[in-house]
Amino acid sequence: MQETVHTDLAVSWLLQSEDPSVRYLTLTEVLDKPHDLPDVESARKQIAQGPKVRVLLSGQRRDGGFGVHPYQKWTGAHWRLVSLVELGIPPGFKPAVRATDLVLKWLLGDAHLQNVPKIDGRYRRCASQEGNALAVCSRLGIANDPRVKQLAESLIEWQWPDGGWNCDRKEDVHHSSFNESLSTLWGLVEYAKSTGDDPASDAAKKAAEFFLRPNSSSSIESSGHAGPIRYDLPRPSTPESIIAFSSIRSLTFITHYTGIMISSKLSPYFRERAS
């Protein structure tokens, strides 16, 4: 097997990682290598036995869960599944697919669905929960499950006029939450990719526009208090740095999956920052 070599020291260091997820993601996301290259295929086949994947699956029970509520931070199935998918586990990976069952039962249970009030014409829902689950299920190859379709349809119904989502129940809040919209964008993008669903694709593009609006503002919390979107990199551990990280993550979703050209939309912002 011919291994990929690289002259960039940082990339070379990543390619030498003992974690196959790091090697695989470096090859595919950083170097943009085709998935059928021998070293890419080799790294992906090893992901299921990688150290981080093994830790995330430790303690899994017969019902697919981990002995706590699916949303228990950060040990519940919801969070473990997001990490597993981000580490590159393949579609159909049985331990992860089993874990989705409890997550879907929680999100589609009567108690959960009856707690989505519509206030001043807008549904108030922490949609990142459904968004993460939708992305995970789509990446795991179960997007055609009727329960997954119900998640997508609910998110489309709950979308706010500005393209995002928010769970703040104050009547005067009319601006979507950055946090609640980011994972939801991810979920709709993955679902649209997996199924070709036009309504999901349209909703994802509308959400992308929410993040690409340089002259608008976006709420980092679910409070709906607006603050400017920042695409620069401020100091770590500040609210601005969190917004910047989320902005970069949202741009990754948009450029990788939605096909929206961002340069013309962002150039006025960058020109303003550079002046």
- What pLDDT, in 10s, does the model give residues 11-53? 999 999 999 999 999 999 889 899 999 999 999 999 999 999 9
- Paired strand residues for 122: 119
**pLDDT given at position 211:** 81
Determine the average pLDDT of the residues in 188-209: 93
- Report the alpha-carbon distance of residue 60 to residue 73 in Å, rounded: 16
- Report the alpha-carbon distance of residue 153 to residue 175 in Å, rounded: 21
3-class secondary structure, 65: coil
3-class secondary structure, 255: helix
Lowest mean pLDDT among 56-65, 125-134, 162-171, 237-246: 237-246
Task: Give percent above pLDDT 70 in the chain.
Answer: 75
Is residue 206 within 8 A of residue 199, CB to CB? The reply is no
**pLDDT given at position 8:** 85
144: pLDDT strictly greater than 50: yes
**pLDDT given at position 250:** 61
- Report the alpha-carbon distance of residue 82 to residue 69 in Å, rounded: 15
Q: Which of 58, 176, 68, 44 is nearest to 123 (CA)?
A: 176
113: pLDDT strictly greater than 80: yes
**pLDDT given at position 181:** 93
3-class secondary structure, 165: strand
Instruction: Kindly indicate the confidence band of residue 275, based on its pLDDT and cuts at 50, 70 and 90.
Output: very low
1: pLDDT strictly greater than 50: no
Greater confidence, 214 or 73?
73
Question: What are the tens digits of pLDDT across the range 169-197?
Answer: 999 999 999 889 989 999 999 999 999 99
Amino acid at site 93: F
Task: Please give the backbone phi and psi of residue 61, each rounded to the nearest 5 degrees, phi first.
Answer: -100, 175
**pLDDT given at position 77:** 98
- Paired strand residues for 119: 122
Q: Which of 169, 88, 180 is nearest to 130 (CA)?
A: 180
Domain ranges (residues) in the chain: 108-262
> CB-based burial of residue 215 (10 Å sphere; 0-12 exposed, 13-18 middle, 19+ buried)?
exposed
CB neighbours of 177 closer than 8 A, spacing ≥ 6? Answer: 164, 165, 166, 167, 168, 219, 220, 221, 222, 223, 224
- Report the alpha-carbon distance of residue 250 to residue 214 in Å, rounded: 13
**pLDDT given at position 208:** 87
The pLDDT mean for the chain works out to 84
